[in-house]
């Protein structure tokens, strides 16, 4: 018997039935529950290129402090406005403090010197590469989250319109492709203003030969119908998410997860990382972005309660920033960065990845943190070990994951 059926039988007080064959209606109910309570992957894109060296500080690398005279984060010690020690080598930026207890519980893992191997320092190209999942190859037509959905759909019947949802107005490249995907900015406002025209508009959009509109329309009308069925059952969260677009989007993802609408992949983004000028140190511009990130994620973690056992969140950012601070107390476009993985299935409490070092001869192209973990390695592990999708070659073509897995999930 699979775990969720066992859980169902136990939680309904019908455990004795497990001794024999349970009645058919109970099997159906348990299966339905299992389908609803599927595994979820959430991807957070930090657009603008986060400075990973100041998010997770390699405070024991002696070169770090010589490269960053005005923006460095002081090494851990008593008192505030210093890095928070993780393992004696790395420290969390103080604005990431809300994540520390999750790290200690073993539900937050960090991968340092991670990112995309392509050397583009264009925001646009680098984001594109990361979203289509083929760094250096521009003509890939679809995003890797969409390819993940396509493959999962082959294993399942009766797909939900909520399988892949972006909490953005625009459908991001990462979710664009052949599999239906939804965009949604507000659950409450996701309805037609004129109910009288609903049936007609549905006909126009689902019946048109204009495939772009048929595709969007089919997802839209299926999702609106499903949402109306369940909306009264969607619990309102007691948790207060940080104000702003990112916190709001996480709150909606949590509601969709709890409503069991069949969500498998969710995407959201957080902007404002392009800190060329006055980046700040323990306080300031970047610290404010980190605070928003950390408070959002920590609230999401608390909000989901036990359901966090089904959820893995990973963060992506197009590239890191220059190891040395520039002349404007900021940093320019760089290379290697930091990724976070958060959730019940994550083997956290650890900083993964080999540290490449910051000495001049170790820097990528003489200026940036080098890369020791391809972002696709991290994504692949979540897709295979968490979502159970083994056909990675379709999702990340031409990519061979490192011979030794990081072991992030388990």
Q: Which of 54, 134, 160, 219 binds other proteins (CB under 8 A)?
A: 219
Written as six digits, the tokens of 103 are 């790290």
Count CB atoms within 10 A of the CB of residue 195. 8
By CB under 8 A, residue 193 contacts other proteins: yes
Q: Which of 86, 99, 114, 176 binds other proteins (CB under 8 A)?
A: 176
Inter-helix orientation angle 211-230/198-207, to 10°: 140
Residue count, binding to other proteins (CB under 8 A): 56
Instruction: Kindly state the smallest distance separating residue 127's Cβ from other proteins, in Å.
Output: 9
Q: Look at residues 80, 77, 79, 73 and name the one whose alpha carbon lies nearest to residue 58.
A: 73
Q: Which of 171, 341, 342, 385 binds other proteins (CB under 8 A)?
A: 171
Alpha-carbon torsion 228, 232, 233, 239, what sign? positive
Contacting other proteins within 265-284 (CB under 8 A): 271-272, 276-277
By CB under 8 A, residue 330 contacts other proteins: yes
Using alpha carbons, list the distances in angstroms from residue 269 to 47, 203, 249, 287, 319: 7, 33, 9, 17, 15
By CB under 8 A, residue 234 contacts other proteins: no
Instruction: Kindly state the smallest distance separating residue 250's Cβ from other proteins, in Å.
Output: 17
Q: Which is nearer to other proteins, 101 or 200 (CB)?
A: 200
By CB under 8 A, residue 135 contacts other proteins: no
Q: Look at residues 53, 31, 128, 1 and name the one whose alpha carbon lies nearest to residue 368.
A: 53
Contacting other proteins within 58-117 (CB under 8 A): 70
Count CB atoms within 10 A of the CB of residue 274. 19
Q: Which of 42, 166, 298, 346 binds other proteins (CB under 8 A)?
A: 166
E strands, 152-306, in order: 164-166, 182-183, 265-270
Q: Which residues contact 372 (CB under 8 A, 6 or more apart)?
A: 113, 114, 336, 353, 354, 355, 356
Instruction: Kindly state the smallest distance separating residue 88's Cβ from other proteins, in Å.
Output: 32
Q: Which of 365, 397, 402, 407 binds other proteins (CB under 8 A)?
A: 365
Q: Which of 212, 306, 403, 404 binds other proteins (CB under 8 A)?
A: 212
Can you tell me the distance from the alpha carbon of 105 to that of 101, in angstroms, rounded to the nearest whole number? 6
Q: Which of 200, 229, 288, 398 binds other proteins (CB under 8 A)?
A: 200
* Residue given tokens 């000495």 in the structure block: 359
Q: Which of 21, 80, 155, 209 binds other proteins (CB under 8 A)?
A: 209
By CB under 8 A, residue 204 contacts other proteins: yes
Q: Which of 190, 284, 349, 401 binds other proteins (CB under 8 A)?
A: 190
Alpha-carbon torsion 212, 47, 337, 84, what sign? negative
Can you give the C-alpha Rg of the chain in angstroms? 22
For 153: left if phi > 0, alpha if psi spans -120 to 50, otherwise beta; the answer is alpha
Phi and psi at residue 101, to the nearest 5°: -65, -30
Q: Which stretch binds other proteins (CB under 8 A): 1-9, 193-201, 229-237, 390-398?
A: 193-201
Instruction: Kindly state the smallest distance separating residue 407's Cβ from other proteins, in Å.
Output: 35
Helix/strand/coil for 274: coil
Q: Which is nearer to other proteins, 201 or 405 (CB)?
A: 201
Can you tell me the distance from the alpha carbon of 94 to that of 284, in angstroms, rounded to the nearest whole number? 12
Instruction: Kindly state the smallest distance separating residue 124's Cβ from other proteins, in Å.
Output: 5
Q: Which is nearer to other proteins, 141 or 235 (CB)?
A: 141
Q: Which residues bind other proteins (CB under 8 A)?
A: 47-48, 70, 120-125, 166, 168-171, 176, 182-185, 190, 192-194, 196-197, 200-201, 203-205, 207-210, 212-217, 219-220, 223-224, 243, 271-272, 276-277, 326-328, 330, 332-333, 365
């Amino acid at each position: 018997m699979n775990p969720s059926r066992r859980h169902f039988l136990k939680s309904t007080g019908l455990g004795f039935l497990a001794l024999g064959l349970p009645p058919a209606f109970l099997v159906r109910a348990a299966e339905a529950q299992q389908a609803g309570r599927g595994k979820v992957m959430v991807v957070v894109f930090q657009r603008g290129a986060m400075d990973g060296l100041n998010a997770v500080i390699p405070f024991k690398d002696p070169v770090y402090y010589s490269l960053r005279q005005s923006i460095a984060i002081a090494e851990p010690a008593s008192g505030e406005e210093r890095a928070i020690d993780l393992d004696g080598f790395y420290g969390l930026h103080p604005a990431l403090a809300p994540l520390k207890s999750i790290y200690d519980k073993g539900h937050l893992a960090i991968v340092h010197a991670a990112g995309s191997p392509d050397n583009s320092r264009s925001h646009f190209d680098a984001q594109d590469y990361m979203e289509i999942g083929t760094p250096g190859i521009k003509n890939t037509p679809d995003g890797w989250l969409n390819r993940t959905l396509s493959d999962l759909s082959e294993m399942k019947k009766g797909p939900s319109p909520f399988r892949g949802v972006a909490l953005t107005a625009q459908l991001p490249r990462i979710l664009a492709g052949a599999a239906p995907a939804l965009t949604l900015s507000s659950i409450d406002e996701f309805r037609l203003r004129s109910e009288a025209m609903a049936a007609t508009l549905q006909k126009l959009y689902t019946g048109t030969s204009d495939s772009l509109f048929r595709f969007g329309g089919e997802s839209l009308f299926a999702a609106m119908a499903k949402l109306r069925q369940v909306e009264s059952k969607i619990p309102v969260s007691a948790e207060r998410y940080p104000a702003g677009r990112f916190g709001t989007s996480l709150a909606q993802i949590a509601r969709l997860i709890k409503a069991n609408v069949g969500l498998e992949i969710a995407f959201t983004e957080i902007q404002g990382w392009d800190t060329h000028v006055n980046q700040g140190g323990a306080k300031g511009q970047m610290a404010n972005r980190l605070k928003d990130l950390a408070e959002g994620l920590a609230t999401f973690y608390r909000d989901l309660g036990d359901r966090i056992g089904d959820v893995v969140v990973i963060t992506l950012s197009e590239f890191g920033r220059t190891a040395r601070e520039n002349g404007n107390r900021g940093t320019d476009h760089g290379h290697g960065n930091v990724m976070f993985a958060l959730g019940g299935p994550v083997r956290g409490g650890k900083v993964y990845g080999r540290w490449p070092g910051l000495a001049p001869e170790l820097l990528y192209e003489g200026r940036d943190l080098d890369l020791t973990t391809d972002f696709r390695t991290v994504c692949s592990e979540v897709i295979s070990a968490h979502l159970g999708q083994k056909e990675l070659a379709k999702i990340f073509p031409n990519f061979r994951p490192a011979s030794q897995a990081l072991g992030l999930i388990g």
